Amino acid sequence: MSKVDLVIIGGGPAGMSAAVAAYDAGLRNILILERDTSLGGILRQCIHNGFGLHRFKEELTGPEYAYRYELQVRERNIPFKLNTMVLNVSPDKVITAMNSEDGMFTIEAGAIILAMGCRERPKGALNIAGSRPAGIFTAGTAQKFVNMDGYMPGKKVVILGSGDIGLIMARRMTLEGAKVEAVCELMPYSGGLARNIEQCLNDFNIPLMLSHTVVEIHGKERVTGVTIAKVDERRKPIPETKQYIECDTLLLSCGLIPENELTRGAGISIDRVTNGAFVDQNRQTDIEGVFACGNVLHVHDLVDYVSEESEIAGKAAAAYIMNGKHEKAVAIELKTDGKIRYTVPQRITSEENVTVYFRVADVYRDVRIVVKDGENVIINKKKQKVAPGEMETVTLTSAMINGITSGSLSFGIEGIN
């Protein structure tokens, strides 16, 4: 069994940023394991632009953003193994993996960074009536066909779910000559960025049908059409509003879910809301020396934030190897009120400044973000608008953290009085 100081599982934007940050912190014995044929992860198929505005102060496409990090990995000669599938991570940090060159092999890791990313929720299709003809794809699968393989999955398209990938694919398929009939969104608001509704739907007069869902799929061998309907407040379809739309393709863009099979296998506890590990400010999970970052931890809106978070994990993993165990100065649990769905990190074990990322459950206007230590308000931040699609942040200063007496902080949304 070989020994490696730091093994990073996943060579997408999270894994690459973490590797570079760990290297720059002084660690040399690093290995990235990637299951695909090249580094870059999902960015390789995200050929649209809008990446990197925060990081590089310019607008890049997904492949360009990925390549900048790939160059950084290559310049540092950080080793990586491609086409390599990790099968298991044990609680004592032994990794079992395989590829066609080395066969099955194990590595004893000093520290591990989990950077496996996320996958699409197949959920949207499960409870739709009708048979399962050809022509039903997740938006990401269609994206791979069009952008990587050069095949068009269909000509007349209905999209269920208005997540960003669905919106981006509405434009992509339209540019390539398909007709996108409608984007149906179950919720009364879109889960995608406002700019994508503007430039991907409005630019091409594609209707966004909020509070609508697909209730039936028609066709035997190939999709021939779908029946859609408006839904009531309880998200139940209203029968009188049913309408038929002829199409040959149904794309599903119903959200993303962190890919945590390996995490669960290692016995790491998972937050029910994020579907990612519980972590502290270093993105360390409840197994010491095992860190998680990027979309495997919680789904991000922007890759720029993935890189930022992964640098935290990379630096912390390097410090863990080089300086040994870090003594917990404090242990503060971060709690949420339901209007704020989750925070990352979920606990704080240091007295340094910490930026807390969080997501809200619904669209709220003219509210305050309130952070309390017991009854004591320590942050009270006005917001004109918060929405589930946009991650928010607050920074806890070390003075605030030092002053905490109740052992926990509650994060909530309150109305403006």
342, two tokens: 């989750």
Q: Among residues 92, 102, 203, 261, which is the contact residue for another protein, using CB under 8 A?
A: 203
Tally the residues of the chain.
417
| Residue 266-285 contact track with another protein, rule CB under 8 A, x = bound | --------------------
Angle at the Cα of 64 (from 59 to 69), degrees rounded to 5?
A: 110
Q: How many positions of this chain bind another protein (CB under 8 A)?
A: 30
Interface positions, 282-321, toward another protein (CB under 8 A) = 301-302
Nearer to another protein, 33 or 60 (CB): 60
Q: Is 55 in the site for another protein (CB under 8 A)?
A: no
Nearer to another protein, 200 or 312 (CB): 200
Supply the Cα-derived Rg of the chain in whole angstroms. Answer: 22
| Residue 4-43 contact track with another protein, rule CB under 8 A, x = bound | ---------------------------------xx-----
Query: Least CB distance from residue 177 to another protein, whole Å?
Result: 8
Residues 6+ apart with CB under 8 A from 315: 21, 22, 25
Q: What is the DSSP string of 387-410?
A: -TTS-EEEEE-HHHHHT--SSEEE
Q: Is 49 in the site for another protein (CB under 8 A)?
A: yes
Query: Least CB distance from residue 203 to another protein, whole Å?
Result: 7
Q: Is 261 in the site for another protein (CB under 8 A)?
A: no
- Distance between first and last Cα of the chain: 63
CA 96 to chain centre: 25
Nearer to another protein, 123 or 195 (CB): 195
Helix (H, G, I), strand (E, B) or coil at 202: helix
Nearer to another protein, 150 or 239 (CB): 150
Which span (192-200, 233-241, 251-259, 263-271) binds another protein, by CB under 8 A?
Answer: 192-200
Nearer to another protein, 44 or 212 (CB): 44
Nearer to another protein, 168 or 369 (CB): 168
Question: Please, is 1 exposed, middle or buried when counting C-beta atoms within 10 Å of its C-beta (0-12, 13-18, 19+)?
Answer: exposed
SS3 labels along 281-341: CCCECCCCCEEECHHHCCCCCCHHHHHHHHHHHHHHHHHHHHHCCCCCCCCEEEEECCCEE
CA 150 to chain centre: 26
Q: Is 220 in the site for another protein (CB under 8 A)?
A: no
Q: Is 205 in the site for another protein (CB under 8 A)?
A: no
Question: Please, is 315 exposed, middle or buried when counting C-beta atoms within 10 Å of its C-beta (0-12, 13-18, 19+)?
Answer: buried
Of 15, 3, 82, the residue nearest 43 (C-alpha): 15
Q: How far is 335 from 19, CA to CA, in rounded Å?
A: 31
Q: Is 239 in the site for another protein (CB under 8 A)?
A: no
| Residue 142-181 contact track with another protein, rule CB under 8 A, x = bound | ----xxxxx---------------------x--xx-----
Q: Is 330 in the site for another protein (CB under 8 A)?
A: no
Q: Is 106 in the site for another protein (CB under 8 A)?
A: no
Which span (56-64, 244-252, 323-331, 397-405) binds another protein, by CB under 8 A?
Answer: 56-64
Q: Is 187 in the site for another protein (CB under 8 A)?
A: no
Q: Which residues bind another protein (CB under 8 A)?
A: 37-38, 44, 47-50, 53, 59, 61, 63-64, 67, 146-150, 172, 175-176, 193-195, 197-199, 203, 301-302
